Structure 1
Amino acid sequence: MVPDIERAMRDFRRSAGVEWSDPVSDRMGGWDYRIVFSRGGPPFIELITGPAGSPWDASQGARFDHIGFWSSDVGQASRRLEKEGMPVDFSGCPYGRPFAYHRVDSIGARVEFVDVSRQAAFLDGWHPGGEPMPALDENSRG
């Protein structure tokens, strides 16, 4: 999460050579936000900026926020993490977006599950021609 997406992109480019797609503006619920992903394939670096009080609030400064995984069943993955003591911090599901963030205090960040059905559109938009990535589900847990 970053308060200034252009500055973060520029600094990541200058410090680590990361190349970026063009940022996209979107709206979910009552929040406008901007999002961008790195180019070049997995792992993808995601930068998001959103207003105070939103799930992407960076008004207190930039921070590492989450690591994302594809899931064959976001609901099942979320229930599993909740049983493990990692509560849902925000779910996009009520807004028609199949993803959920879970708070994992021991790592100081959230884990995000995104429904694998969104992967083809993600790759088309952010990494054209990219190979599909595996989903993390009950059968592939380590």
Structure 2
Amino acid sequence: MIDPAAIFHTGIAVADMAAAQDFYARSFGVEWAPVHCYRPLPLWIAGEGWREVAIDTVYSRRGPHRLELIQGPKGSFYDPAAMRTATHTGIWVDDVGNEVERLATLGWRVLAAKGSPQERFGNMVYVTDGGPVFELVGRELEPMLTAWFSEA
């Protein structure tokens, strides 16, 4: 069962990382961890299969709730103009595959994931009920992300 107290970030797809970092820093006073670049990031997309995308992503340093900015290429899953995940809410879960199965029985559908359905969607999956998008993130990634938040 998903615990709403496990919500840890709001993700925003942006067209210009530097401009977005500056805007949100001025707006909310956030400080940023270093930007990480994934080249490539393999992503399984519902209805399309496996795609490789290049993204830059960054999190605000202070929590427990953080902002995440993601910049991807035009036409990709992370293109803010595509509005698929222009904004999403990230939440820790103990078992991504089990949560996807449970949510599917309630009408949720998978948009994209770090693993295929045969791989039980890996350690990260985007789901929607047709409205908001949630990113379910496996708790096994928490130590890596916690270290990233505190990087200089």
Q: TM-score interval w.r.t. the shorter chain?
A: 0.7 to 0.9
Asked if residue 15 in structure 1 is aligned to residue 27 in structure 2, the reply is yes
The equivalent residue for 1:39 is 61
What whole-Å deviation, never above 9, does each CA across 1:55-87 have from its counterpart, x for those lacking one? 2112458x7521011111000111111111110
Q: Secondary structure at the match of 1:66?
A: strand
Q: Secondary structure at the match of 1:25?
A: strand
Distance across 1 between alignment mates of 2:122 and 2:150: 20
One-letter amino acid matched to 1:3: A
Q: Could you say what the CA RMSD is over the residues aligned between the two structures, in angstroms?
A: 2.1
Q: Residues 64 and 50 (structure 1 numbering): CA distance in 2 closer, same or farther, change over 3 Å? A: closer
Distance across 2 between alignment mates of 1:97 and 1:91: 7
More contact order relative to length (CA 8 Å, sep ≥ 6): 2
Q: TM-score normalised to the size of structure 1?
A: 0.79
More strand by share: 2
The aligned length equals 125
Q: How does 1:51-130 map to 2 (within 5 A)?
A: 51-59=73-81, 64-94=86-116, 98-105=123-130, 108-127=131-150
Distance across 2 between alignment mates of 1:58 and 1:16: 21
What whole-Å deviation, never above 9, does each CA across 1:1-54 have from its counterpart, x for those lacking one? 111111111001111111111211102122100000001121011000111332
After superposing on structure 2, the runs of 4+ consecutive aligned residues of structure 1 that deviate more than 3 Å are: 94-97
Q: TM-score normalised to the size of structure 2?
A: 0.74
